[in-house]
Structure 1
Amino acid sequence: LSHEYGHDHLYFFFPFYQDAARTQLIGYMGLKFDLLRHLMQLRKFRYVDMASVRVEVREGERILLQDLVPALQFRTTANPEIRALEKLITRSFYEIALLIAVISLLGYLALISVVTKPLRRLSDHIGAMGRGQGALLGESYRGALAVTELENIRQSLNDYQQQLDDMHVSLVHKNQELWTLAHHDPLTGIFNRRAFDDDWRAMHRTHRDAPLGVAFMLFDCDHFKAINDTYGHQAGDRVIQGLAESLNGALRAGDRLYRLGGDEFVTMLFSTDIERARQVAERCLEHVLRYDFSAYGVKEPVRISVGIAYLDDAADDALQRLHRQADIAMYYAKRPGQGKVTVYSPEMGTGQEAVVSNAETSAVYEAMADPDRLEMHYQPVLALSTMRIEYYEALVRIPGEHGLIMPASIFPVVELRGLECEFDLAVLERVRRDLALGRVPAGAGVSLNVSGPGIVNARVNEKLLQYAPLLSTYKLVLEVTETALITQIAQASANLNRLRKQGFIIALDDFGSGYSSLRYLSSMPVDLVKFDIALVRSLEETGRQGVFVEDLARMIKDAGYQLVAEGIETEALLQRVTALGFSHAQGFHIGRPAPLEGLRTVSLRTVN
């Protein structure tokens, strides 16, 4: 390539040969081209500015063909199609962005309408259910939710809430019926010992710091034991019913009559004075005298003695003494030459005379001083899964001048005088000796009853820990009442949990105090729940009472507790509790309480 006279010329030289074999060179032929002009003729360069094309060769300078490309200089031109494509892409980008924004806005509005608002309504719906406003849900949410799945959830929640409401109403009704059953005496229909204990504690809380006039009135049937022995227990029960009816009719409207046990009744008169209290007591005597007990076959006149203790100030220690003072006054009323209504006076003393003159009270004190004076009887408890006797409940008796003194006579004395812990210690020591000496068959078990004050008492708990060496030989069940747990649930639970770790099995005895039992049962450290005799006997009835006891048993069993049925006296009742899922049964049909000499492990067939 050569630059000459302002033009770039391209020279090509070709050799010529003499012969076809190209062996004899005769010369060369040269061709000269104007490079740029021929390039433009050969091809149209769309993206090159042809006016800018030049070759970097100086005038007269020559370069070889292989050096042409580096020396060639030019400028490119814009491609209109690419420019148009760029504009199209840019416009499309903005259009797509706008479309996305519009779709996002529409999607957001749709999300709010279809999802967010229904979710908010559903959340408000759940909140209203949590606040107990289930009855208003139908009015607050007119129309279905937009999302079918959310509407299904709402309907499911409504159904679940309705089921919970129905269960709650049913549970409230069952609790009310159970409370009534547990706080009323099944023989007379009046309030029982448990109701009295509740009202006694409530009276202390209410009147502790307030001035009051309260009369504590204690009724006792004269010579009731003789009536019972002469005419039989059925006539004795009729006499008790007649006494309750006549006394209730003599009391003022609003006064409550309680049967503490046996032939002993109590009432408390509030906002009264001693004269009005005496008038009420005299009216009670008249009603009893006018009552026709001969309809029950009782020929002798039935009379009562009344002891009254009156308090016109609110000293707490004075309130505590009312029951004891009425007890002393009642014993004075029974003495010959005394009026049948006696009001306590300080001249009667502290009651030591009554203690000395009362054989049952004296026997209790003697037994606490020497546990060997106690006579333990053991009643078998049947495991329904194996139909074998699994353990025995230790029941206390005290030998007396006229035969054995039974628990119905022992515990009113113990509780009235606040001797629960001392009596627990005596019973626990007596049973421990029986076990340590091998008097109870090895491999069997023993159930121990501990009072409410005893379960939180340090000395009683220390005595229970002395049973630890016996746990490898005997199954030991510790029975406590629900009242004992509820009144001091924190301390009682701590002590019972400690005993459970030692190996004791904890049983809740006399289950059936209504609201208290169902409310606190889940927090009580118990393994067995013992249905008391009144509840179990309700299963023999075909009415509402039997049905709700069945439901209650299933509910507690499903919660993971083992159930023990007390008071089994017929084969039919045994089959009933077995079908309901009770794990254990106890009662005269299985075996009566007996001294150690009568203990033996037997099958139900042998018992029958």
Structure 2
Amino acid sequence: MKIPEGLIRPIRFYFAVFLTLSILGLLIINFKLYNQGEQIRKAVVEKNQEQAALEMQRVLTFSLNDLQSKLRKISEWDEVFQQLRDPSYYFFWHDERMQESRYFHPSFSNLELYNAEKTLLMPASPSKGYDSSLPQTIDNLQSMVVFRDYNPPHLNIYEPIYQRGSRNVIGYVGVSVDIVDYLLRENTFYHIEKTSIRLHGSGSVSSREIQELIQFKPVQNPVSDELWELIKSFMMDMFVFLSMATILMYFIFNLAFYSPIQMLSLYIERLQKRSGEIKPPEERFLLKEFEQLKQSIYLYHQNLNRAQAKLDEQNQIVWDQARRDVLTNIYNRRAFDEAWNGVLYQYAKDPISTTFILFDCDFFKALNDTYGHEVGDEVIRLTAKTIQDHLPLESPAYRIGGDEFAVIIQNKSAQEIQQIAQVCLTALANANFAQLGVKEMVTFSVGISQAVPEENNDVASLPRQADIAMYKAKQSPQNKIQVYHQLLDREAQSLVSNQVVTTVMKAVESGVGIAMHYQPIVNMQTSGMYYESLVRLQDEDGSMVFPNDIFSVVNRRRLEVDFDQQVIKKVVEDLQNGVIPKNTGVSVNVSAKTLLQPAFVSLFDSMEAYLNDYKLVIEVTENSLVDHMEYAKDVLNELREKGFKIALDDFGSGYSSIRYLAHMPVDIIKFDRSLVLALCEGDSKTRKIVQSTASMILEANYQLVMEGIEDEAMQATSLEAGATHIQGYLLGKPSREPQSVSL
């Protein structure tokens, strides 16, 4: 990472920035803490006030109902009926008997009886005087709160007295109650401070308005108050601590860091300006690490010259290793470039006959994908050794690509060059690639280009010309050695654009030339099967266009979606024509770009009619599914609901599929061939990992397909690992007519 010039500052600057930001961060935290504490305190106060209001409302409701109930019982008291019939002893009953009875509450200021005309049954008691809290005549039977300057507020309530056995009113009973005293006597308060309860008003007010007139304070929360005080105290302590810590950190930084770094910087500058031994600073540093660094710099300076001498000795070895291919130990592309530049320079000064030979392994990518990278590497090693062993001693081989080898030969005639190339090609044909486990014949193509002084050839064009000749050799099944001539330029262009590209473009546009091949996938539990559809193309003269060339054109021109549509049409045609037997099935591979099309689901509308008679599988690759998981879930689950099965192809070729396995919208997992080979031929640790992965997939109720089964031993190992389906040459090769398999 390149640091801008403006950001290069002294260490003190960055320390000050760090310290300022740290203090600012702590102050922000303190401020937030204070703010949150204040909010909590306010919330607690509001909550207490709310609970107190609810409690007062409940107490008032209960008390008023209770008073009315007490008054009702008084109205039903036998002695009240006696007084109404004969009030001769009313004064005695009112002043003595009634006040000593259980009906008279201590909070009652007065209790009076009224006749049916709402007038006092008897005048005020002559012995005790008249209590004006109750009126001489009832004007309003509604309960009222009466405020008086010389007495606490009283609640006057009335209750009619009914003749027994009827609803005829024969009188009234009225009570004047010290309402505050009654509330305090008859209730227990949990959220209200009892001493704070007050009634404020004037005149007479309806009892329904008591809630608005009564005043009170909620009980204080000592825990909340204490917490708030602790927060404020903590914040003050933190501010003091920050101030002291800042000063202390500044002095420690100067003593422990800045001064040692400054001294060491000056020491290094002296080492850069002068040679020879320079002793380190005599000052002692507070930190042991700086002392060790000082001694290390001193020792490093002493050893630097000795190390420089050893480096010079190693340079030659490194130079040679840098020009050797790690896999084959022959010269690599870097060595070739240097040698070729030397040839060009020499040819410009003194032209001599110069030949460029290019060897290339046919279909190496397919071989590598089929047998795995380890076998592919062994094929490259054996190829390099075979070519090198059959070349002249003065002409080494160079590995300039994955499976491409170049040779530069000078002062040889065209006939001698042809003989050298043929010897190498014959040796390659006789090489024992079978010992590496490769069952197919491994073939090679050779391109030759030559520059001779008398023809005034462009020697710099030899690599390109040899490549054109080699491509021509690839197109020919017999003439695997081709020598460049000028007509090949036009012919090579025709081969690429008119043969391969035209054939592929016709297939994409109209489906012409597409011949679907089918390879069986066998259910090892039921012996049932379905077929994987594999695309093949034939040009006008009947030559086969191989998959590598097909998909090279398709991918280069971004025709994946159109090509997949033509493949689906061909599979549907084979279903219509009965090419694929009923009660089997077929799988179709789709590319990542096709999967991302908005109309992806509708691509398979034409196949829905065959869901009842066939098992229809859509194969998507691991990378395309993992990279677009959220989108793929929706479209693939929609297809699954219709009856299609979804297969995850190339499982194990990536590194992230296991992580997403539980969420993948698939029914079938297809092990990549590399996993199958690791299971059958890997070491014990690798096999255990693959077996555990297979067990996990089976426990998750996925079907497990193992590809590339070539012999019975691989089949037995796959079945032992739990494969529900197998696919490979042991059961059948891809063919135009689907093969039946008998186990």
TM score, norm. by length of structure 2: 0.38
**Higher RCO structure (Cα 8 Å, ≥6 apart):** 1
TM score, norm. by length of structure 1: 0.45
